[in-house]
Structures are given as C-alpha cells and as structure tokens.
Amino acid sequence: MTFQSRIKIAIIGAGPVGSLCACFMAEYGYDVTVYESRTDIRHTETTIGRSINMALSERGINALQFINLDNIVIDELAEPMYGRMIHSIDGRKYNILYDILENKCLYSVNRNDLNAVLLTKLEKYQNVKLNFSHKLVDIDFKTTQLTFETLENPQKIVKPDIVIGCDGAYSTVRKNMIRLPMFNYSQMYIDHGYLEINLPSNLNKDILSAHYLHIWPRGTFMLIALPNKDKSWTCTLFMPMDKFPLLLESETENILSFFYKHFKDFTNLIHPKYLIDQVKNGKARTLISIKCNPYHVNDNFLLIGDAAHAIVPFYGQGMNAGFEDCTLLNLLLNEYEHDLNTVIKMFTSRRIHDTEAISDLAFYNYTEMRDLVARKSFLWRKKIDNILQKWFPQTWIPLHSSVSFTTIGYKQCQLNNQCQNKILFLVLILFATMFGIAMYFIVMSTSTTISA
C-alpha cells in the first residue's frame, strides 16, 4: 500500500475538468471518489440547443496526453479546423488560416462526447469510485465534512482528506468559500448571450466548407458554426441579451427575414421550419465571467476549472485552461513530492496571473470575432504578423497562435502581444517620419528649382 492510496481525495463535479483531474489523481494511486450532481451523461439524451461544441487546442491536448487519451480524442471525436471562414454580409467568403508555418489546427469536439470518454476512462481505475446523483449541498471547512443530497439520502455525509472543487461556473464549493474571510470573488454577466442552432448533415452540407470555424461577423452580433464528426454543424448565435426576446418571440416571417437579412447563405442551408422550431423553442443563455483569489481554503480545499475561473467562450479556452490546471497540479505534485497540502497552497500563486490574463483576452476576442475580422486593418495586421512569423519563427508568435498552439503561460502571451504592438507602432511612426522628411526635401527641392 503506497502512502497515496491512504489519502482520500473527493472530486466534486464530473464535468470535463473534474473527470480529467480524477484520472490524474488515480494515475498516482490516490483513493479518489468523484461526486456528480447529475445522472450519468452517457445514458442521457442531449437536448438540442444544449450540446456545445468546443475548440480543443494545445493546452487541452497536452493534458490529455498524460492519460493517453489525446490520440483517441483527436482520431475518434474531433474535426480539425485550420482557420476561420468569414462570411461577409454581401455574400463574399474568405479564410484566415490559424497557422501559416505548420498549418496547425484547432479541434472541434462535442463537450458531452469528450466528457463521456473521460468518464469511461475514469471507471477503469480500481482506486476510483464514481457517484452520480450526488449533489454537494454543504461544507464544514474545519472538519472537512461534506454533505450531499442523494436519491436515497437527503443528507449523506463524508469526510475526505482533500477536496477538489470542479463543479463549474456555479460552484457550490466556491459558494461556501465566499463566506470565509480573505476570500475574494467577483462575477460579471456580459451583455451578450447565445442561442445554439443545429445544422443537420443531410441538408446541402457542401455549401459550408469543412475544416473551418465559420463566422458571420455582424458588428454587435455574430453567428458561428463548428463542424461535427457526423458532418452536421453546431451553430451559435451570439447577440446582446436584450435583443433575444425580440427575435425569439417574433412572428415566423420576422425570424426568417432576420436570418435572411444577416446570414443569407446560412439560412439557405437549413429548412425554414427546422430553423424556426429551434429559434422558437430555444433559450438564450447567459455568459458569465468569474474571478476569485485565492483558489484554496486551508491546505485541503482547492478550486479548479470553471469553478475557479469561468471565462467568456470567445477564445475557445475555458476547458483548455481547466485542463491546464490539471497539468499544473501534476507539475506541482512532482515538484513538492506529493506533499498535497503544499501543492494546494502553491497552486493559486502559480496559476492566477495566467487565468486572469486569459479571462481578459477572451473578452477582447469577442470584439475581434464579431467585428474586427471583417475589417481591412485586421487583415493587414494578420498579413504583417504572418510575414514576421515567417522571418522570426522563434520570436514572433502572433497572439492567437501563442494562446492556441503553445503552452506558453497566458500572461506571457499577453505581454508578448503588447510588446509586438509597441514594436509595430514604433515602426509605423518611423516610416511616417521618414516619409515626412522625404516629402519635405522633395517639396523644398522643387520650390528651389522653380524660384531658380
């Protein structure tokens, strides 16, 4: 019996991050019990409009590698996306590749499918117990006592040694932490929300070119479409929340004319009745951004994933960042030789600058996706970035590439981008000054010639 097997770890939440974290802990031989409030998603049908496709990128893949799931996920669940395909309002289309050097891609994965694969992996560990329909309702931080509501027992009590809260953006673990002194917390609902629309595979599928993330940027709102393995598309309309009732409660003709006006080529792909049904029966969902500090209480309660740092989805990094939390935990376990209490205390200071940076970058990317990608200045900047990246592949890594295709800390990615912006600004000033001086001498020499 190893010392790890005597340490009881409770993981709250069997979403993607909780399941992965439990696998990591199980690999090391800890005694892991996972508590999930819902029933097993593998036996529950997904409701249309609640599927959520996610862009899996380097940080997520890197974490999956530790439990040898990276290739399985990429080969069996994922569709590659090599760039953005922009659909202009006038019907023009153009692509913006993510990576011109090595043609790297993001992977479109259905959240439930990925979660299911992780749960199946988790079940195979002898040292893991998986409890569904166990809703955490209360915590006593002094005694490490957790109270769960289950189908049979309204007050099931357990006492683990370590608790890792992976219970998502509306975390109960975090709600209990908020009451404690010196625990800082902030949340912000953004003005925009989203509505999911499914584009089935059997309808004119060839019009949307595969292997791209399609975007219809319309200034204050946008539609995006991510490919699925079965050739269907998961589309999401992002729009100010106060505009949704006008659309969802509209007459059929008004809904259709909205889609025809703003997303004509998309609307031609979908049967009008199917579109109308989804819009009328759909629900606009809110988007929340959450920050807290620290991520731990005492030396035995820790928050990771959305429970610690839910971000808006526009950089496609929420789950990737949660998976990277698991990678950091792994690193710290090795660095502190499995002294879990020290690992938990060190986690916040090693992670918080990066998670706050990606939270800010995710806000910025919404403006980029719904507005900037349609502007000439953005496309010029992209061209300059591509040229500089070709010339200096080791030093000039554009922001999107460093966030999506490397494991450079998010904070460092943000700082590098600020530095690149300054360099480009200075070069622009230099060119403008040189141009000004040249013009001055040309004008002066012309006027001297005329007066002579």
Contacts to ligand FAD by CB under 6 A: 12-18, 35-38, 52, 54-55, 111, 135-136, 166-169, 172, 194, 236, 305-307, 313, 316-320, 322
Burial level of 372, CB count in 10 A (0-12/13-18/19+)? middle
Nearer to ligand FAD, 228 or 389 (CB): 228
Q: For residues 229 and 274, give the distance between their C-alpha atoms in angstroms, rounded to a whole number.
A: 21
Please state the closest distance from residue 258 (CB atom) to ligand FAD, in A: 20
Nearer to ligand FAD, 282 or 305 (CB): 305
What one-character DSSP code corresponds to residue 74? I
Nearer to ligand FAD, 18 or 217 (CB): 18
- Helical packing angle, 111-123 and 16-27, nearest 10°: 30
User: Quick one: tokens of 4?
Assistant: 């790890």
Measure CA of the first residue to CA of the last residue in the chain; give whole Å: 101
User: Quick one: tokens of 126?
Assistant: 């002898």
Instruction: Say if residue 294 is preceded by a cis peptide, omega within 30 of 0.
Output: yes
Element of type H or E holding 35? strand 31-35
Cα–Cα nearest to 362, from 416, 314, 411: 314
Question: Do residues 201 and 231 make contact, with C-beta atoms less than 8 angstroms apart?
Answer: yes
Please state the closest distance from residue 276 (CB atom) to ligand FAD, in A: 22
Please state the closest distance from residue 194 (CB atom) to ligand FAD, in A: 5
What one-character DSSP code corresponds to residue 206? G
Nearer to ligand FAD, 73 or 307 (CB): 307
Nearer to ligand FAD, 52 or 215 (CB): 52
Nearer to ligand FAD, 17 or 276 (CB): 17
Cα–Cα nearest to 382, from 104, 105, 95, 82: 95
User: Quick one: tokens of 374?
Assistant: 């349609």
Please state the closest distance from residue 4 (CB atom) to ligand FAD, in A: 23
Nearer to ligand FAD, 139 or 396 (CB): 139
Please state the closest distance from residue 125 (CB atom) to ligand FAD, in A: 18
Q: What residue number has its CB nearest to ligand FAD? A: 15
Q: Is the dihedral of CA 304, 309, 310, 313 positive or negative?
A: negative
Please state the closest distance from residue 172 (CB atom) to ligand FAD, in A: 4
Nearer to ligand FAD, 4 or 352 (CB): 352
Please state the closest distance from residue 423 (CB atom) to ligand FAD, in A: 30
Question: Do residues 403 and 245 make contact, with C-beta atoms less than 8 angstroms apart?
Answer: no
Please state the closest distance from residue 204 (CB atom) to ligand FAD, in A: 25
